Amino acid sequence: MFLELRGVTKRFGGLTAVDHIDLDIEDGEFICFLGPSGCGKTTLLRLIAGLESLDEGAIRLRGSDLGQLPARKRNFGVVFQSYSLFPSMTVARNVAYGLVCRKWPRARIEPRVAALLDLVHLRGDAGKYPHELSGGMQQRVALARALAPEPEVLLLDEPLSALDAKVRESLRGEIRDLQKRLGITTVMVTHDQDEAMEMADRILVMNRGRIEQVGLAQDLYWRPTTRFVGEFIGRLNVLERERWQALLPELGGDPGRLFGIRPEHVRLVGAGEPSNGPVGEGTVRKVAFLGNMTRLILEAGPGVVEIEVHGPLRGAEVGERLRFTLPGEHLSPMAADPR
């Protein structure tokens, strides 16, 4: 395995920020650490980078233990949220900085810098200073600087969170395309589920210092194994056995069992219309028109159901009674959070 984490643990006083993490990362893979603030994802990235020391466990690169190796000797490129560019250096000198520190010969540095600025579409800005660039351009410089020394792993610590939405959307596509082109193993920390789902080969969802679930974006969305994952990635109706078993006997006999269904899979059912699942009835409490779809919040006997209707929806008003069905093939079993 290319990069291995075994029992990785980090404590700050009485707080366990990272709690016995086991993870294998393949050569050339793009993996995202996703989770809310304070879940441990940035601490885990810093442990991989060597910017924090392990309390327990091991991190291995191609079988070699990195535990006692300082960050400067790991040959990992790191890009931070804050860009961290040198304000008194030009774009070209910022990119070249790591190469100069590693005593690359000038004959190698200049073509390497030029090639990287081409990759990030900034060759014409080589002589500018950071304050002359937009936020997106500065982050491209930071990315080029991290890639300059030909690192074995690229680590991205929420690199897009300081940018506005349009720039974020454009730059995340550029970063993913660049990663594929270079084939570099990449680990990115983000709290943005759309970012993770668009960019990553696999997503690791963290909560309270532990891994909740690791997998493809499709698996996490359609088959969440815990309530936390189901609610953190997308919107989810959570059906608790005690409240919903009269309508859904297939929920089974386990009193702690939960099922989830995405709002887009709940269907409205007209009078006399056939359904492919049990039918319930609820009162409309909220109607939100969102362009290509309308989101309804219904208060049903067992609880609240959120429904997304794609296409035109006429006549739904607050206070109206509507019938709906919960197709059994779209019900996902989930574990409640035991902690």
Where exactly are the structural domains of the chain? 1-75+163-234, 80-151, 236-334
What tens digit of pLDDT does each residue of 62-119 get?
Answer: 999 998 899 989 999 999 888 789 999 999 999 999 999 999 999 999 999 999 999 9
- The confidence score (pLDDT) of residue 257 equals 65
Interatomic CA distance for residues 9 and 211, integer angstroms: 12
DSSP 8-state code for residue 273: -
- DSSP H/E element including 64: strand 64-65
Residues belonging to the chain: 339
Model pLDDT for residues 1-59, shown as the tens digit of each residue? 899 999 999 999 999 999 999 999 999 999 999 999 999 999 999 999 999 999 999 99
Q: Which residues are paired to 188 by β-bridges?
A: 32, 156
Query: CB under 8 Å to 299, separation ≥6 — which residues?
Result: 282, 283, 285
CB 120 within 8 A of CB 177: no
**pLDDT per position as a tens digit, 136-171:** 999 999 999 999 999 999 999 999 888 888 888 889
Predicted local confidence at residue 329, as pLDDT = 85
Yes or no: say if 76 and 50 are a contact pair by the CB < 8 Å rule.
yes
CB neighbourhood size of 115 (10 A): 13
Diameter over CA atoms, the chain? 80
| CATH number listed for the domain at residues 1-75+163-234 | 3.40.50.300
**Is 339's pLDDT higher than 60?**
no
Q: Is the alpha carbon torsion for 107, 110, 114, 120 positive or negative? A: positive
CATH for the stretch 236-334:
2.40.50.140
**pLDDT (average), residues 125-142:** 94
Task: Measure the CA dihedral 110/114/116/118, to 10°.
Answer: 180
> Do the Cβ atoms of 26 and 1 come closer than 8 Å?
yes
